[in-house]
């Protein structure tokens, strides 16, 4: 391959979907595909990922692979234990993917880190040095980028904002703690909380239906989104106070609710951000539909 035609393989793994793409050095996506994340045991989940990768690669030879996965992760050993993919616990994802693609660098990162990295590379964070990116979907993931590089922390799991405790009397979380941001702001948890309050009980509904009802003025749906926004704002402000940043980008399926989510988040951030160096906090929607994929590809390009 010439340098101009070289690509890396980016893989984005979350509780709702898995996506893969061949990506050029300038961020151009050459080929992309995605599937719903299946349920099942470890091998069944990986078999679906392997089929997806085979379709995307289709005889090409990527020069590196970047993987963004829901966490927590063990970067040292290439293991993943996503809270929302119960079939994978200490799953050797890096070794299994390497067996699919051959002897090329394989880089692993938390999906929230990759989302933030993608938005920093070609999206809403292009003009800033420090960015907090948040993905609100089946779970709540996050990542921080400083000077074009993800802030990893000692274990590689830094900025797990979804599992920041914001309510000491809150509900149990899938992570084993309680009162986490995710228990209030993730799509499935918002739907469950709304139904317990009497919204569309015993119906098969999702966060998109909840957001549509909120936009139409349903009082329960609006209250649930306000609770989720308050939790997100608390996590955002706590992170900003810790890291000293002013730019926040939110994406993911729940973020498609638009003003139903962003308006109350903005109000709560303004209320909670009182220290002088965080009063300028801005929260804006993601610009990219595939920021996690691009961030994973960015990891791969950094390895070659």
Q: What is the Rg, in whole angstroms, of the alpha carbon atoms belonging to the chain?
A: 19
Beta bridge partners of 63: none
Residue recorded with tokens 């989720």: 228
What is the per-residue pLDDT across 20-44, written as a single tens digit (0 to 9) for each? Answer: 999 999 999 999 999 999 999 999 9
Question: What would be the CATH architecture of the domain defined by 124-285?
Answer: 2-Layer Sandwich (3.30)
Give the pLDDT band (50/70/90) at residue 210: very high
CB 3 within 8 A of CB 11: no
Domain with CATH 3.30.420.40 in the chain: 3-110+291-302, 124-285
Q: Per-residue pLDDT for 149 more than 50?
A: yes
Mean pLDDT of the chain: 95
CA atoms within 13 A on the CB side of 224: 32
> Residue 71: which pLDDT band, with cuts at 50, 70 and 90?
confident
How far apart CA 89 and CA 86 sit, in angstroms, is: 7
Query: Would you say residue 1 has pLDDT above 50?
Result: no
Cα(113)–Cα(173) distance, integer angstroms: 21
| Residue 66 DSSP label | E
| List of residues 6+ apart from 193 with CB closer than 8 A | 184, 224, 227
Q: Please say whether the dihedral angle defined by the alpha carbons of residues 212, 217, 219 and 224, taken in this order, is positive or negative.
A: positive
Q: Which CATH class is domain 3-110+291-302?
A: alpha beta
Residues 6+ apart with CB under 8 A from 115: 68, 133, 134, 135, 141, 143, 251, 252, 286, 291, 292, 295
pTM of this prediction?
Answer: 0.91
Half-sphere exposure of 227 (CA within 13 A, CB side): 23
Instruction: Give the model confidence (pLDDT) of 79-90 as tens digits.
Output: 999 988 999 999
Share of the chain above pLDDT 70, in %: 99
Question: What per-residue confidence (pLDDT) applies to 10?
Answer: 98
């Amino acid at each position: 391959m010439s340098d101009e035609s070289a690509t890396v393989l980016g893989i984005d793994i979350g509780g709702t979907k898995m996506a893969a793409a061949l990506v050029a050095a300038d961020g151009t996506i050459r080929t992309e595909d995605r599937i719903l994340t299946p349920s099942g045991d470890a091998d069944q989940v990986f078999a679906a990922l392997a089929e997806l990768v085979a379709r995307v690669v289709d005889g090409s030879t990527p020069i590196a692979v970047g993987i963004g996965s829901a966490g927590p992760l063990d970067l040292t050993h290439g293991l993943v234990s996503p809270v929302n993919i119960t079939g994978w616990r200490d799953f050797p994802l890096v070794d299994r993917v390497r067996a699919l693609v051959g002897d090329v660098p394989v880089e692993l990162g938390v999906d929230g880190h990759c989302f933030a990295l993608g938005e920093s590379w070609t999206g809403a964070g292009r003009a800033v040095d420090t960015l907090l990116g948040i993905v609100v979907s089946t779970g709540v993931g996050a990542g921080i980028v400083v000077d074009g590089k993800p802030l990893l922390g000692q274990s590689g799991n830094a900025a797990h904002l979804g599992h920041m405790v914001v309510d000491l009397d809150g509900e149990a979380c899938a992570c084993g703690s309680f009162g986490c941001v995710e228990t209030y702001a993730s799509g499935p948890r918002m739907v469950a909380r709304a139904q317990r309050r009497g919204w569309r009980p015993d119906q098969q509904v999702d966060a998109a239906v909840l957001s549509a009802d909120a936009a139409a003025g349903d009082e329960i749906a609006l209250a649930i989104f306000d609770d989720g926004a308050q939790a997100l704002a608390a996590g955002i402000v706590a992170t900003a106070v810790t890291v000293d940043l002013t730019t926040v980008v939110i994406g993911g399926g729940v973020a498609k609710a638009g003003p139903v989510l962003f308006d109350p988040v903005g109000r709560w951030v303004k209320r909670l951000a009182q220290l002088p160096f965080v009063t300028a906090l801005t929260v804006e929607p993601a610009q990219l539909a595939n920021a996690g994929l691009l961030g994973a590809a960015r990891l791969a390009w950094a390895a070659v």
